[in-house]
Amino acid sequence: MTATATPLSPTLELACELIRRPSVTPLDEGCQEQMMRRLSACGFTLEPMRIEDVDNFWASHGKEEGPVLCFAGHTDVVPTGPREKWQHQPFNALIDEHGMLCGRGAADMKGSLASMIIAVERFVAVYPNHKGRITFLITSDEEGPAHHGTKAVVERLRARNERLDWCIVGEPSSTTLVGDVVKNGRRGSLGCTLTVRGKQGHVAYPHLARNPIHLAAPALAELAAEHWDDGNAFFPPTSFQISNLNAGTGATNVIPGELKAIFNFRFSTESTVEGLQQRVVAILNKHGLDFELNWALSGLPFLTEPGALLDAVAASIKAVTGRETKPSTSGGTSDGRFIATLGTQVVELGPVNATIHQVDERVLASDLDVLTEIYYQTLVNLLA
């Protein structure tokens, strides 16, 4: 249902159908079945992959010889938050009086999925004997733990020596206008929980205790002030941020026995996991702390340098919109980090990201038709 009687484009019709399915991670709620039905109708070979409680699928069309272009994305969305704060119900999927497609997933990333499907349907109809293969790698576990989604599918593809030359991930990369920014890489993400042990005691008798807050503070200050690297032409310098700091019993007259700090590195290709870990340990040892570190690596940095994929995407954006695109590695992580481990050139290209994960998520409806055309022209540039 829309605010006007104007017929919807095929892309917007499909986007609305997908948004109306409340696929809060890791649920899929039939989104993938709908996509697979469309792909099957235009000749794709389908391979559903349910891993643990996560729905995924792999689909392929074309010849074994020649380059392989993969469209990747996710059908799961983040929770809505308080529904009463939404101007329109989050899963109603309507186009308002301002031409905005409103609903959870409009930007992240059911709009992109609809654009991919419609672009591929059109391309296969016009070029049934296209070069190489077109593939899809779709998951319902991107917004959640991401253990049984793209990461697990990639391991299966690796085990059977599947080749992916190029991949377009439909993450909402654009900043102001569709196609103004594409992501050609992402920083790595390395998290850690630090436990600093002291000795509990009475605040009136500090000589009988060891306050872990006082002990840890200089070390945390040094970690926060450390210059980790200078970055490079593609990545900003590595950043270190403390996101949680907890100590104390709740009482005002008790020195706590331990402190916990959670911190995260977003790191460039100028640093390594091992190097960052060693430098943290050296700083903590320098301050004589009794500590424990529990590390969690979410993803390594990856970079797609200028080449066939980036050139094809940039040329398509220029042809469709008339504007130059800007490659960027800013932002958080995406499933591109798993796909890149196959040696694949990865680019993220999607709609404007201004409202992702927010109440009243929305995207300019006409942008999705523009995105469809960009995907189509990219297919023409690479596989026609």
Q: What is the C-alpha to C-alpha distance for residues 266 and 73, in angstroms, rounded to an integer?
A: 22
Amino acid making up residue 363:
V
DSSP for 42-104?
A: TT-EEEEEEETTEEEEEEEEE-SSS-EEEEEEE--B-----GGG-SS-TTS-EE-TTSEEEST
Q: What are phi and psi of 115, to 5 degrees?
A: -60, -40
Helix, strand, coil percentages (3-state) for the chain, rounded to 5, are 30, 25, 40
Residues 6+ apart with CB under 8 A from 354: 107, 175
Residue of 28, 108, 141, 142 marked catalytic:
142
Cβ–Cβ < 8 Å for 36, 59: yes
Six-digit token string for 50? 């349910």
- How many other CB atoms sit within 10 Å of the CB of residue 316? 23
Q: What is the C-alpha to C-alpha distance for residues 353 and 177, in angstroms, rounded to an integer?
A: 10
Residue of 28, 29, 55, 76 marked catalytic:
76
Please indicate whether residue 142 is annotated as part of the active site.
yes
Indicate which residues carry an active-site annotation: 76, 142
